[in-house]
Structure 1
Amino acid sequence: MTVYFRLRTGQRSSEKPRQLYIRLKVDGVECSDYASGVYVRPDKWNSSQQKVVGYSKLAQETNNELESILAEHKSLLAELMRLHNAGVIPLLPAAETIKQHWTRKATLIPTLLDAFQTHYTYLRSLKGTPEAREERTLSKWKNGMDYLAEYVKLSKSERLTCDLISNKWAEGFYHYLIKKPLGLATAARYTGYLRASLNHLVEIQQLAQNPIANYFPDKGKDKPIYFLEDEHLDKLWQVETPTESHGLARDWLLLLCYTGMDQPDLERYVASPGNFTEETEAGPMIVIPRGKTGLIACIPLLPEVGRVLANYPGGIPKMSNQEINRWTTIIQDQIGFTERLTVKICRKTAGALFLRKGYRIEEVSKVLGHSSIQTTLRNYVRVTGAMVRAGMLRVQGASQSTPFIQIHKTA
């Protein structure tokens, strides 16, 4: 490593004090110059000797300060090498890395809050891209960061770095959230946000490994899975809607049930169906990235969707989640649904509906835009007799289409 102090071009012959800049080179690779914070008179600066000439007290103090800066850079390089050799940081230290640490734009190992803030900032930067998160999801991330800030302050561990935590530490944070009190699922979600933030540091090579990569706290017992059966859907089509808002709420619920989309995604689709519809050999299919996760949902376009949208030649008017939910209590009584009807129930209804139509669970998982079948099984599927009958019909159809081959034995 070489540290070279230099004056900027055009500032080398003045008597007016000018700031020295640092040109750092590590393994033959330079980074851009950066300010040292030390000012010298150009006519007193000897660049070849790298010091201020003269025996004045000011000259001695300035030279001592430059020696201190050089020692700090060497110390940083040694510490970064130690951390690399110990497997804490993944990359060999480079000139740019040392510059970032010395100018306090980075710490040797990020703190937990630094990690969370880095990932949260990254998620915010995705706005306008297919991977962007919904605002309500980002709001949950901000809540998780606030709870983490509370906990590290309470435990006096604000400067705790990411490499020093363990599953036991994460468990302490999880139990702290439960005592707030938060539900088990919410506490597990916020702990998962911290785990995801550390994974992000690993991906951008600021951390060699995530010490809590395998910590998955208890989310509590699975909630009962409710959805509308065929009889409820039949009644939903036929409900009396004496007001325009009542009818509009009913139609949004129908669209949610027959597509399985989250409401913001459904709003994007109905605003411009052609942008998200693909023609396949089996018929039209909706292909849309989920705003919540960026995962692609592939949804067979059912005729019921067109039946609803045909009532709105100029496009179906938007209706907020809150507006729809003001009507769901009335509508759930009209269709005889005994549980609380919500837009989330409609998304689960789509999962059940496609299963009843004979689609396999892995296909339904793709319809709903899930990252894994386990998410579908855990939160969206309750097998009914109608689904078994649909499976029987699918199997029978497959067996009938397969020719029977008789094997003749020869003597």
Structure 2
Amino acid sequence: MDSLTLTPSLPLRSRVALTVWFDFAPPSKQGLAELQCHLTVNETTVEAYGSGVYTLPSLWNALNQCAQGESAEARLVNQMLSDIRAGHLSILQALVRAELSVSAERVQHHWLSGEPIASRLLYVYDEYLTTLLAMPEPERRAVGTLYKWQLSYRYLRTYLESTGQSELFLNRITIGWAKEYYQWLRARPLAINYATELVGNVREVLQFALENELIVENRLNSLKLTWQAAKPIYCLSLGQLQTLERLDLPKPLDLARWWALLCCYTGLDYPDAVTIAKDPKPHIVHLPQGDKLVWKRLKVKQVHQAYPEWAICHIPLLEETQRLLPRMQVLRAPSFTGLNQNLGKIENRLELPFRFTTKVCRKTAGAMFIHRGYRMEAVQKILGLKDFRTFQRHYLSTWQEVVDDNMERLMNS
């Protein structure tokens, strides 16, 4: 006799008990006879049905639910019965996973008909999120990425609920459905690339379902959606940085200029720059090769409803930074909004073809440290970035001067 008790994660579900046992239909024949399946789910038993397994009644031990002896026939019968039990348990698990009502009749139906059981999309999506969260380091994705996946789940759930598809099963997902979801996302409105990413997340969940044998094919594998070119990444050039230092500016813009320069020469976020400028000594480490700032940078804020993630920045103290720090200790720190507004006015004086904000300052620092000869992996550590791909995508802006310096170095070597 074989039994299984399942306690699904859904709070409204009760325990599910399944029992499969075998015996002959009376009266038993003297020759080969078919063992009958007796299925019970939650104390409800259905009418016996054929197992497809034939053996001699003299070999059968009803009490131990097995064929007796060490003969090849007995071993074969026992293996086949074990497979039948496992198959029934698998059907029960699939019904629970699909959040369908579980009964002896339904388990029997799927066993005899071979009809596949499709899981609900939202249930499997939630299961995939649990898998992502449970991944150990270093396979586990960044906290920001996990937050985006959770946000993606909420968009999908809102769409399904608003369109009456909360019970959507995996085998109902087609390219046509994905395009309708994409159009709904665009009408929110969401940017083309973000809407495409959210549909791509559904495709990844289907791939997870395919690998776990919940579906026989991933119909979204051939789906192609439009992507826009990534937004250009801007930073100040070396000449623009030098011009910014020399500009004759009125007092409010002059104040904004110095805070912007501090961010350009350190790569610090503006709030972090303000904190360090007030009292830099606790954050300075003296080394034989020079001084550096060591700062614990918050990468993911708590307002994102995700666990905060910290990064340690190791920032070499450049000559420009050492000159700036004494000045910054006595300068007033404007609000974040006020600073960006004044940088917008400086943008016109520099005749920049892009918006000048504190984000531009941080990206300028990445390019400047590369220009000063720091290797890319060192610059990644200076900026406190965990993922090198993020560094490449958002911070690796190469100035013309970097190329010129390398040409000169090679020519003189």
Q: TM-score range by the shorter chain?
A: 0.5 to 0.7
Quote how far apart the aligned CAs of 1:388 are.
Answer: 0.6
Indicate yes or no: 2:369 matched with 1:354.
yes
Q: State yes or no: 1:67 paired with 2:82.
A: no
**Structure 1 counterpart of 2:186, one-letter code:** I
Residue 356 (structure 2) pairs with residue 341 (structure 1)? yes
Once the two structures are superposed, residues 192-227 of structure 1 have per-residue CA deviations (whole angstroms, 9 ceiling, x without a partner) of 66678899999xx9x999967998965411333332
The equivalent position to 1:302 in structure 2, one of 294, 317, 340, is 317
1:153 counterpart (145, 153, 161): 161
Unaligned segments of structure 1, at least 5 residues? 4-22, 27-33, 37-64, 70-76, 103-107, 124-130, 400-411
Equivalent runs, 1:108-147 vs 2, <5 Å: 111-112=121-122, 115=125, 119=129, 144-147=152-155
| Matches for 1:3-152 after TM superposition, within 5 Å | 67=43, 81-82=90-91, 111-112=121-122, 115=125, 119=129, 144-152=152-160
Q: Distance in 1 between matches of 2:398 and 2:274?
A: 30
Q: CA deviation at 1:310?
A: 1.7
In structure 2, what is the equivalent of residue 128 of structure 1? none
Q: Which of 178, 186, 208 lines up with 1:178 in the alignment?
A: 186
User: 2:403: which partner in 1?
Assistant: 388
Q: 1:325 aligns with which of 318, 340, 346?
A: 340
Distance 1:116 1:196, change over 3 A: farther
Corresponding position of 1:254: 261
- Per the alignment, in what secondary structure is the counterpart of residue 347 of structure 1? helix
TM-score of the two chains, using structure 1 as the length reference? 0.54
How many Å apart are 1:386 and its aligned residue? 0.4
Which of 203, 213, 237 pairs up with 2:245?
237
Contact 1:132 1:291 in 2 (8 A): no
Instruction: For 1:343, give the aligned amino acid.
Output: T
Instruction: Tell me which of the two structures has the higher relative contact order, counting C-alpha pairs closer than 8 angstroms and 6 or more residues apart.
Output: 1
The verdict on how the C-alpha distance between 1:83 and 1:331 changes in structure 2, with shifts beyond 3 A counting, is farther
Question: Which deviations, in whole Å up to 9, do the C-alpha atoms of 1:301-338 show, x marking residues without a partner?
Answer: 23333433322437963632x22221122111233323
Give the stretch that moved more between structures: 234-243 or 343-352: 234-243
Report % sequence identity. Answer: 26
Provide the TM-score with structure 2 as the length reference.
0.54
Aligned residue type for 2:243: K
SS of residue paired to 1:300: strand
Q: Distance in 2 between matches of 1:81 and 1:269?
A: 59
One-letter identity of the residue aligned with 1:317: A
How far, CA to CA, are the matches of 1:268 and 1:214 in structure 2? 51
Q: Secondary structure at the match of 1:291?
A: strand
TM-superposed deviation, 1:234 = 1.9
CA distance in structure 2 between the partners assigned to 1:269 and 1:188 by the alignment: 40
| Distance 1:142-1:269 versus aligned 2 partners, 3 A rule | farther
Aligned residues: 316
Aligned pair 1:221/2:237, yes or no? no
CA distance, structure 2, for counterparts of residue 199 and residue 301 of structure 1: 45
In the alignment, is the contact (CA less than 8 A) between 1:109 and 1:162 conserved in 2? yes
Indicate how the Cα distance of structure 1 residues 163 and 223 shifts in structure 2: closer, same or farther if over 3 A, else same: same
Retained in 2: the 8 A contact 1:267–1:318?
A: no
Report the RMSD for the aligned CA atoms in angstroms: 5.6
Q: Note the C-alpha offset of 1:279.
A: 5.2
* 2:60 counterpart residue number: none
Structure 2: gaps (5+ residues): 8-12, 16-40, 46-85, 102-117, 134-141, 301-307
* CA distance in structure 1 between the partners assigned to 2:172 and 2:119 by the alignment: 10
Q: Distance in 2 between matches of 1:326 and 1:161?
A: 50
